[in-house]
Amino acid sequence: MPAEKPQVRHVRAKAQDAGQRIDNFLLKQLPGVPKSHVYRLLRSGQVRINGGRAKPERKLEEGDEIRIPPVRVAEKGEAVRPPDEVLKRLKESIVHEDAHYLVINKPAGYASHGGTGLPYGVIEAIRAWNSYEFIELAHRLDRDTSGVLLLAKTRPALLRAQRAFMHGTSDKRYFALLCGRWKGEARDVDAALVKSRLESGESYVELDEEDGKPSKSRFTPQARYKEATLCEVEIFSGRTHQIRVHSLALGHPVAGDRKYGEREVHKPLRDRGLKRMFLHSHFLELPADGEFAKLIVAAPMPDELRDFLNGLPQAAR
C-alpha cells in the first residue's frame, strides 16, 4: 500500500511543554526530519502558534495551539534502538543522580543527540532505558569531548539549568591538552564567535567581532610538558566549539582536534599515541535557585587521557 500522505496537524501544548522553545518542541514532534528543514518551516511561516507566525526561540505556554504542516516523519518501526552495549556503558557512566538531574561522564565518541548520519546519541540511548517519564539534555558536549553531561528529569529543573547557562551563573571547567609550550600563567580570551558551514555541510566556527556572539574563556596552565601544556579552561559562555576556537586563537590548538589547527602541529602528539581530542569536561556547578539547592558535580578524567599524560616527557625547568 502507498504511504499515507502527511496531513496538517494541530497540537495543543501540555503543562510539561510550557517553557520549551518551539524549535525544540518541533524536533521531538518530527522525528527523523533534519534540523535544517525544521528551521525552514519556521522561517517560512508554515508553523503557527495560536494562528500567528513563530520565531525559533518562542517559548510555549500551556494551552498554545501549534499548527504543524504536512511533513513525513520517521515511522515508529524505523527508530533505531541503540545497541545493548551502548545502553550498558552509559548506565555505568552515571556520576550523579537525584530527583531533578542525571549526570553522566560522557565517553568520547558519543554524540549528545542523534542527527544527520547518526541514528542515535546519548539522549536517545537514555530514553531507551525507559526509566524516566521526562528526560532532556540541559546542555551539550561535542562528540569527541568527554565528561560532565547534565540531563534534566523535570521541566522546572531543565529551565533552572538553562537560566544558569544563559546568565553566566554556572561554573563549567574543562581539562584541555594544548599543543606547544605555554608561556606565562593564566590567559583570558574574550572574542566573538560565528558559526558557518563548510561545503560538506559540516559546521565550522570562526572569530568574528562584527557578526559573532560574545564568548569568554580563561586558560590556566596545570602541567607543562615538552610538546604540550595541560590547561584547566573555565568558560563563561557556552558557544559551539568555544574552547577549540579560543585555544587556536592563542596559537595552541587542542591536541588531537582534527578540525582546528594544522595537521603538522598535532603530529608529535599523535605519534606518541594520542587517538582522540584531549578535551574533558571535569566540573560543573549550578547556583542555588528557588527550590533547587546548589548542584556540584565532577567527572574523573578517563584512563586513556590520564595514561597518555603519564607517558609525556616533562618540560625542562
> Most distant CA pair in the chain: distance in Å?
75
What pLDDT does residue 261 have?
A: 79
Reported as a pLDDT band with limits 50, 70 and 90, residue 80 is low
What pLDDT does residue 206 have?
A: 80
The catalytically annotated residue of 17, 64, 142, 144 is: 142
As a whole number, mean pLDDT of residues 108-119 equals 82
40, pLDDT greater than 70 = yes
Whole-angstrom CA distances from 21 to 49, 73, 142, 177, 276 are: 12, 20, 22, 36, 34
User: Shortest CA distance to 218 belongs to which of 194, 243, 192, 248?
Assistant: 243
- Per-residue DSSP letter, 79: P
State pLDDT tens for residues 200-225. 566 778 887 778 888 999 999 999 99
State pLDDT tens for residues 182-200. 999 999 999 889 887 766 5
As a whole number, mean pLDDT of residues 272-293 equals 95
Backbone angles phi, psi at 76, to 5 degrees: -55, -40
The fold of 77-157 is Pseudouridine synthase (3.30.2350)
**Which of 3.20.10.10, 3.40.1190.10, 3.40.50.1370, 3.30.2350.10 is the CATH number of 168-310?**
3.30.2350.10
Domain ranges of the chain: 9-76, 77-157, 168-310
State pLDDT tens for residues 240-257. 899 999 999 999 999 999
Specify the CATH architecture of the domain 9-76.
Answer: Roll (3.10)
Whole-angstrom CA distances from 201 to 31, 258, 277 are: 20, 16, 21
Q: Which amino acid is at 8?
A: V
Average pLDDT, the chain: 89
Cell of 210: 562584527
What pLDDT does residue 28 have?
A: 83
Pairing of strands 136-137, 216-224: unpaired
**Whether 134 contacts 153, CB under 8 Å:** yes
User: Is residue 271 annotated as a catalytic residue, yes or no?
Assistant: no
Q: Please tell me the distance from the alpha carbon of residue 274 to that of residue 271, in angstroms, as a whole number.
A: 7
pTM: 0.76
**Does 168-310 match 77-157 at the fold level?**
yes
